Amino acid sequence: MLYRIIKKIYILTILIFLYYSGNYAKTLDLNEIIQLSFQKNSEIQKLEKELIIQKLQKNQLFFNLFYPSLNFGGNTIFQFYTNENIVKVQQGSEEIEITNYYNDNYSLNIRLNRTLFSGFKNYNDYKIKELLCKIKEKELQVKKLEIKFNIISSYFKIILLNQNIKLLKFQLEIVSNQLEEEREKFRLKRITLIDFNKTNLYYQQIYLKYLNSINDYEKEKLNLFKIIGIDEEIEFDANENIENIEYYIKVVTNLNINDISSLAISNDINIITYNYNLEIEQFNKSTLEWSRFPSISMGLDYKYNYEKDPIHINTRNWRGNWSLSFAFSLPLDSIFPNSIIESQIKQSEENIKITKIEIENYKKSIINTVKNYFLDLNYNKKSLEIQKINLNLMEENLNLAKKELELNRITTNDYFKSESDYLQAKFDYNSALYNYWIIMGKISKIIGGNL
């Protein structure tokens, strides 16, 4: 009996522990969420694997560039014995029979081969792969910065939406009280049905906004989890101060629009990719031009054959020999006009011109983006200043309403209206603050700054 009681207590203790450990999970701060995304985000994982592949391919080309190829092989042919293998040989005054059992052959060989010159093709291939590695490294760096910015943006948007839910819930309570008052007035025939319906309509509108804000809040949480790269929900502080956003975004100071545009162009991943592609195409063109020259290769062979002994009859042993070979190949058709190589060189030249045109066009689009950012920044800066003034005015009104309430000069509902106006002004200020710092983050991101 005692054993059963102890067993039940033990099981109950475990269940309680599991329940509270699941419901009181560690709350992650923003930096921990960002680090988690670097581990879980599928785009980052994919780029990391692609970078590993690029580096392995580069190492492979480095081996081909400096080391010869080494091959080892062997060969054997076996034929069955027949009477035709018995031959007669005159040796002095006597004729003797020799049985030739050696129609089978055995050989081993090792070959060292090295291309001495092939129009710098191996070198150019290695340099191209080196450029591709640099592109992939830059892509990974840019993707991490992008993921970090998106998480900061989504995280503080959730905080803003959470504040909006609280504001609308408070407004809904106020309008609900008003609706009850209007219902009583209508019952006493102090107001018309039209007046009551207006209040009821306003209540429904606030309620719809409240439901919509909850929906936006939940959807933004899902978006944040998607950016991080996780399926399950995590615990984080949705009540953090929206003003903390400035601690996660690098402030761009003492830089005018021209400086920002220059930095944006030099750090843009597409411009960097275009420039690398330009270098790659120039390497391709150089390879094609050098392919007109002969390619030269050298081979060093050592063969080890199991063959007849030239001195002793019916005797075989292993005999080895060395050989050194040189070979060259000259594509004679490349000297003719409109040859394949000549056509490929001209195509490469046109590709270079196209890439340069694309670079210039993309530079213009970056400059236009920076100009738009500056327009948004100036607007949001002025908006923030105005919302700050409005917040101070609403705070002053709230303090005055509090004194009026203490003196019984206004009703509780009138005071709640002033409080609602203050909370709305605070939310508008936080929204302006969020928009301002998001634009600052976009400018910082476009110039490759550390958020």
Task: Report the share of the chain in percent with pLDDT over 90.
Answer: 43
Q: In this model, does residue 288 exceed pLDDT 90? A: no
> Which pLDDT score, from 0 to 100, does residue 44 have?
93
**300, pLDDT greater than 80:** no
pLDDT value for 16: 43
| 34 vs 80: which has the higher pLDDT | 34
Q: Long-range contacts made by residues 201-204, C-beta under 8 angstroms, separation at least 24? A: 202/175, 203/172, 203/175, 203/176, 203/178, 203/179
pLDDT of residue 261: 92
Model confidence at 146: pLDDT above 50? yes
Looking at per-residue confidence, does 283 or 290 come out higher? 283
To the question of pTM greater than 0.85 for the whole model, the response is no
Closest CA to 34 of 155, 169, 211, 198: 155
233-238: long-range contacts at Cβ-Cβ below 8 A with a sequence spacing of 24 or more?
234/25, 234/28, 234/33, 234/36, 235/25, 235/26, 235/27, 235/28, 236/27, 236/28, 236/29, 236/30, 236/33, 236/155, 237/27, 237/29, 238/158, 238/159, 238/162
Higher pLDDT residue, 113 or 357?
357
Does residue 406 surpass a pLDDT of 60? Answer: yes
Query: What percent of the chain clears pLDDT 70, i.e. is strictly above it?
Result: 78
Predicted confidence at residue 11, as pLDDT, reads 43
Res. 2: pLDDT tops 50: no
Query: What's the CA gap between 334 and 340, in Å, rounded?
Result: 7
352 vs 285: CA distance, rounded Å: 9
Question: What is the rounded CA–CA span in Å between residue 235 and residue 279?
Answer: 48
Confidence of residue 15 (pLDDT cuts 50, 70, 90): very low
373-395 pLDDT tens trace: 999 999 999 999 999 999 999 99
pLDDT surpassing 80 at residue 86: no
| Residue with more model confidence, 449 or 271 | 271
Each residue of 415-448: pLDDT tens digit? Answer: 989 999 999 999 999 999 999 999 999 999 998 8
Q: Give me the residue spans of the domains in the chain.
A: 2-40+118-294+330-446
Q: How high is the mean pLDDT of the chain?
A: 82
Q: Which pLDDT tens digit goes with each residue over 325-338?
A: 777 777 776 667 77
pLDDT digits (tens, 9 = 90+) for 229-249: 998 888 888 788 999 998 888
One-letter identity of residue 295: S
Predicted local distance difference test score (pLDDT) of residue 17: 40
316 against 5, higher pLDDT: 316
CATH, domain range 2-40+118-294+330-446? 1.20.1600.10
